Structure 1
Amino acid sequence: MKPLVLALFCVVTSLSAQNYQTESSFTSSGFLSNDTSPFWFYTNEFGRNDPTTDVLVLGETSRQFKLTETSNIKVNAGLLYQNGTSGKTLQIDNAYLQYTNSWLNARIGSFHQYIELDGISSTNKNILWSGNTRAIPGILLEANAPIKIWDWLGLDWGIGHYELIDDRYVKGANIHYKHLGAYIKLSDKSKLHFEIQHFAQWAGTSPRFGKQPSKVSDFIDVFFAKRSGSDDAPEGEVINALGNHLGSYNLSYTYTLDKGTLELYHQHLFEDGSGTALKNFPDGIWGAHLTFNNSILKAVNYEYIHTKNQNGFGTVSGNDNYFRNGIYDSGWTYENRTIGLPFIQPQSFYNPMGNSRVQGHHFGLLSSYKSFELQLKASYIESLGTYVQPFIPKRKALYTYAGLTYKTKNVGQFTIKTGLDILSYSGNLLGLAGSYKYTFN
């Protein structure tokens, strides 16, 4: 994939200098804490810093070329320095090409998820891919707008392939991704959205099970979540679906108010047939997001988090132990960070004491006045460990965060952040951070 990306970069940068826009930015941040940084300082921050980071510097640049009235190509690159414990002080933050037209949004390279729900959700509106890790290289094709079937019905779709290039138990594993959704117009002010998304880790080489099936026929089995027909598949993948499969049902209802918008949503996660049949109900995220027009208060968010059921313990299809897999023993992680819901720490080869059974509440708020913007987050989480290795007593945590940004007209923006974690199982954490960002064309 790397040679292809480099070739495409050369093609794009050789385009005519006409009809393009360039934007670059420089960000510098410093962190102080009594031990390690508070939870929301480093969580869902695209893996840019970790709990021990003191200094972070990020440089980004993008150039967008207009091809026609409805299509364009964008090239984006970012370089990151941070001095945490990851062992990689200088890193590529992102590097990708994007092609967009009226019906297609295509990206290739290493790119982050788009920020959803004003950046104050605990999952960025995706329980399986929350923006908690560095960008994973891949190719993603998705609808740029819903495909209109009737006046009241539109379809949404996406398909992608990613490569896990970090140091992990199964080297060279891939991720297959797809989603299909429907938008249903209920009235001029309300609509319903239902989506199913599917991820699967597959291929790669395991130190225990050897090389995993990776032929075209194996990909077809992965695509349809079928049992493996390959002779070199482990026994569990002959009995069950080939690969490590995860998915979610995403349901949302949106109502347009006179002075804002209300969105109610549920994200139900599953990892096997019992989950798709809702036998692990009510596991998932239950949320409400309210936005305001022409107001100091811009948005508020509430989410109820529940992953305790897992279809029970002691049943054949129970004890789902979310984000854990016996063959892909790094679990649903990238560079030892959870890819999905950040309150889950999956049990893995690198983390024998996992935590997949959690319950809690999350609150978020966004406000702005003139040149100031305020962001608040607070999460109360009870962690129970796993069914096999429970936390006794259960671990309770209150994660709080406040960030105040001042945006100037000519000299960039300044942000000060503070966080306090109150923990029942260790000492409390207090942190202070400051950052400066300058954007130029």
Structure 2
Amino acid sequence: MSLLKSLLFMALAIPAAAQEKPQEFHYRVEATATASTGTYAPLWLTANRFGMESEKPNSGYLRAGIEWNKKLNRGWRIDAGLDLAGGVKQTSDFWIQQAYADFSWKMLTLSIGSKERMGFPLEKNSELTSGWMAEGPNMRPIPQIRGEIKNYLAIPGTRNWLAFKGHLAYGMFTDGNWQEDFTAANQLFVKKVMYHSKSLMFRLGNKEKLPLEFEFGLYMATQFGGDQYKKLANGESEQTIDMPDGLKAYWHALFPTAGGEDTPEGEQVNVEGNMLGSWNFALNYYFGDWKVRATLDHYFEDHSQMFWEYGRWKDGQLGIELYLPKNKWVSAVLWEGISTKDASGPILYDGFWGSFSDLQMSGGDDYYNHYIYQAWQHYGQGIGNPLLAGPIYNEDGEIRFKSNRMKAQHVGLSGNPTEEWKWRIMASYARHWGSYAHPLDKMRKQFSSMAEVTYMPQWTKGWSLTATLGVDRGNYLGNSTGGMITLRKTGGLGR
């Protein structure tokens, strides 16, 4: 409780100091409370909130942050922030949500630290989408060093008809202690795992000349390094795998290649680490004040389904976004269809890459799971699409996605009737089959929905109040009805 009291004091003290600081400083203070029935809170009260919300039916948090933005000469800019949070029934009682420094020169940025980054290569409507397949805003930020071109940069000589953006990042997962506490006896967990991601996207088209644009590119990520442990019945842990973490491991993450003799046999015949990614495509059409956007987010793991090795792609997320001209009620409509059911099809037997004598199992991909790193997750929440519920929902203390074969439909609508009011509605219907190795006892269904209204009174600048209602029905995560209230204050410090 002393940490929460200190955080509350910080939250109250920041606005009080507003007249004593330079204008480049901005603050944010936020308090949220959630109450619901059922075993878990409704999915959309938890998902895609950068790990700030708990899956537990009743929870809350207090958050206070400050950031500094400074423009310098010759196109330079510095942005830095510190964001602290404390809560009840959360994965941590107190944590640093953000602590970062960004150094930018024109379009190029070097970002260092833990930050809520929305710089995923394929842009989607972040208020309405169900999420991204490979990496999205569903989990607590991963601290990293990241070089990036955030927005499309026109390639010289193409007259703005061809542009690109991309990033390269290395970081470290910080949930090793949480994994050890969460894991049950005889289960596996990992510590000191490293993170790597990279992306390159191109945009073809010039909407000033032709109202049509095509975007395409690749995102790849890897878990590497670290140590695997097994939880013993007496509560102690023993190390089972020690993965290399030298410079060569960083190189193998950048250019996926087979591991050496200091890695398990499975890494020597495939690629070192847990490599995954997505191909990303978008088609944008502009018609006056209207905009229609179609997207394809195709997920893959290892070599399977990265190319057309097993025929046409069957897994991924197909989306359509419609943006209407300014009106009083509806501003955006979204539909998404998601499938991870194929997972490269049934298990096949073939030779290892570059081998003619040994055998390997191809196909039957175990999406988001891995035999060394257990799962593509951070603090129990999936890093990819939240409709595939993460390990935090496992009551048996296993760090694994119980169902990674799923088909789902998702819709979302939003509006901004006045400067003081905005709203959004989301609904999803998913069918789950478990995994190839561990199928569910039967096909299970889950409906998840959310309705949210935000009031931003003009007579008290910077304040907002958000009320959210969530309703879940189904036999996978169960039935739940709940509400969430968020009170937020933002503003600048100084004159």
TM-score surpassing 0.5?
yes
Describe how 1:176-325 pairs up with structure 2 within 5 A: 176-185=196-205, 188-207=210-229, 209-228=240-259, 230-278=260-308, 279=310, 281-296=313-328, 297-315=330-348, 316-325=361-370
CA contact (8 A) 1:118 1:299 kept: no
- TM-score for the superposition, normalised by structure 1: 0.90
Q: CA deviation at 1:358?
A: 0.5
When residues 319 and 419 of structure 1 are mapped into structure 2, their CA distance, relative to the original with a 3 A threshold, is same
Which amino acid counterpart does residue 234 of structure 1 have in structure 2?
Answer: P
CA contact (8 A) 1:346 1:355 kept: no
- TM-score for the superposition, normalised by structure 2: 0.81
Which amino acid counterpart does residue 214 of structure 2 have in structure 1?
Answer: L
Residues in 1 aligned to 2:117 and 2:254: alpha-carbon distance in whole angstroms: 22
Residues in 2 aligned to 1:338 and 1:113: alpha-carbon distance in whole angstroms: 16
Mapped pair 1:106 → 2:154: no
When residues 163 and 68 of structure 1 are mapped into structure 2, their CA distance, relative to the original with a 3 A threshold, is same
Q: CA deviation at 1:356?
A: 0.3
Match of 1:40 in 2: 44
Match of 2:415 in 1: 367
Mapped pair 1:385 → 2:429: no
Match of 1:10 in 2: none
Q: CA deviation at 1:414?
A: 1.2
CA contact (8 A) 1:195 1:250 kept: yes
Q: CA deviation at 1:295?
A: 1.8
Residues in 1 aligned to 2:364 and 2:370: alpha-carbon distance in whole angstroms: 12
Which amino acid counterpart does residue 92 of structure 1 have in structure 2?
Answer: I
When residues 399 and 253 of structure 1 are mapped into structure 2, their CA distance, relative to the original with a 3 A threshold, is same
Q: CA deviation at 1:392?
A: 2.9
1:240-263 per-residue CA deviation (whole Å, 9 max, x = no partner) reads 111110011001111112122111
1:407-433 per-residue CA deviation (whole Å, 9 max, x = no partner) reads 112151111110100113565210012
Three-state SS of the structure 1 residue aligned to 2:253 is helix
CA contact (8 A) 2:59 2:90 kept: no
Match of 2:163 in 1: 154
CA contact (8 A) 2:68 2:79 kept: yes
Q: CA deviation at 1:139?
A: 1.1
Residues in 1 aligned to 2:425 and 2:302: alpha-carbon distance in whole angstroms: 36
Residues in 2 aligned to 1:221 and 1:306: alpha-carbon distance in whole angstroms: 30
Residues in 2 aligned to 1:426 and 1:343: alpha-carbon distance in whole angstroms: 11
Q: CA deviation at 1:378?
A: 0.3
Residues in 1 aligned to 2:472 and 2:300: alpha-carbon distance in whole angstroms: 30
Q: CA deviation at 1:314?
A: 2.1
Which amino acid counterpart does residue 317 of structure 1 have in structure 2?
Answer: S
Which amino acid counterpart does residue 439 of structure 2 have in structure 1?
Answer: P
Three-state SS of the structure 2 residue aligned to 1:117 is coil
Q: CA deviation at 1:273?
A: 1.6
CA contact (8 A) 1:106 1:139 kept: yes
Three-state SS of the structure 2 residue aligned to 1:221 is helix
Match of 2:356 in 1: none
Residues in 2 aligned to 1:344 and 1:428: alpha-carbon distance in whole angstroms: 17
Which amino acid counterpart does residue 195 of structure 1 have in structure 2?
Answer: G
Residues in 2 aligned to 1:203 and 1:25: alpha-carbon distance in whole angstroms: 36
When residues 419 and 145 of structure 1 are mapped into structure 2, their CA distance, relative to the original with a 3 A threshold, is closer
Describe how 1:429-440 pairs up with structure 2 within 5 A: 429-440=480-491
Residues in 2 aligned to 1:353 and 1:166: alpha-carbon distance in whole angstroms: 17
Residues in 2 aligned to 1:235 and 1:20: alpha-carbon distance in whole angstroms: 57
**Which of 83, 92, 105 matches 1:78?**
83
Three-state SS of the structure 2 residue aligned to 1:165 is coil
Three-state SS of the structure 1 residue aligned to 2:97 is strand
Name the stretch that deviates more: 408-417 or 179-188.
Answer: 179-188
CA contact (8 A) 1:209 1:234 kept: no
Match of 1:7 in 2: none
When residues 144 and 79 of structure 1 are mapped into structure 2, their CA distance, relative to the original with a 3 A threshold, is same
CA contact (8 A) 2:380 2:390 kept: no
Residues in 1 aligned to 2:219 and 2:399: alpha-carbon distance in whole angstroms: 27
In structure 1, the gaps of 5 or more residues are 1-16
Residues in 2 aligned to 1:350 and 1:427: alpha-carbon distance in whole angstroms: 19
Which amino acid counterpart does residue 84 of structure 1 have in structure 2?
Answer: K
Match of 2:371 in 1: 326
When residues 144 and 85 of structure 1 are mapped into structure 2, their CA distance, relative to the original with a 3 A threshold, is closer
Match of 2:470 in 1: 419
CA contact (8 A) 2:28 2:66 kept: yes
Three-state SS of the structure 1 residue aligned to 2:151 is coil
Residues in 2 aligned to 1:435 and 1:19: alpha-carbon distance in whole angstroms: 28
1:393-412 per-residue CA deviation (whole Å, 9 max, x = no partner) reads 21101101000011112151
Residues in 1 aligned to 2:257 and 2:165: alpha-carbon distance in whole angstroms: 24
Which amino acid counterpart does residue 479 of structure 2 have in structure 1?
Answer: N
Name the stretch that deviates more: 427-436 or 171-180.
Answer: 427-436
Match of 1:172 in 2: 192
Residues in 1 aligned to 2:303 and 2:66: alpha-carbon distance in whole angstroms: 44
CA contact (8 A) 1:372 1:406 kept: yes
Residues in 2 aligned to 1:98 and 1:274: alpha-carbon distance in whole angstroms: 36
CA contact (8 A) 1:353 1:389 kept: no
CA contact (8 A) 1:73 1:100 kept: yes
Three-state SS of the structure 2 residue aligned to 1:40 is helix
Match of 2:31 in 1: 28
Instruction: State, as a whole percentage, how many aligned pairs show the same letter.
Output: 24
Q: CA deviation at 1:85?
A: 4.5
Match of 1:13 in 2: none
Residues in 2 aligned to 1:376 and 1:427: alpha-carbon distance in whole angstroms: 21
Which amino acid counterpart does residue 202 of structure 1 have in structure 2?
Answer: F
Residues in 1 aligned to 2:152 and 2:400: alpha-carbon distance in whole angstroms: 43
Describe how 1:59-70 pairs up with structure 2 within 5 A: 59-68=64-73, 70=75
**Which of 130, 144, 151 matches 1:145?**
151
**Which of 116, 124, 133 matches 1:127?**
133
Which amino acid counterpart does residue 117 of structure 2 have in structure 1?
Answer: Q
Residues in 1 aligned to 2:331 and 2:323: alpha-carbon distance in whole angstroms: 6
**What's the C-alpha RMSD, in Å, of the aligned pairs?**
2.1
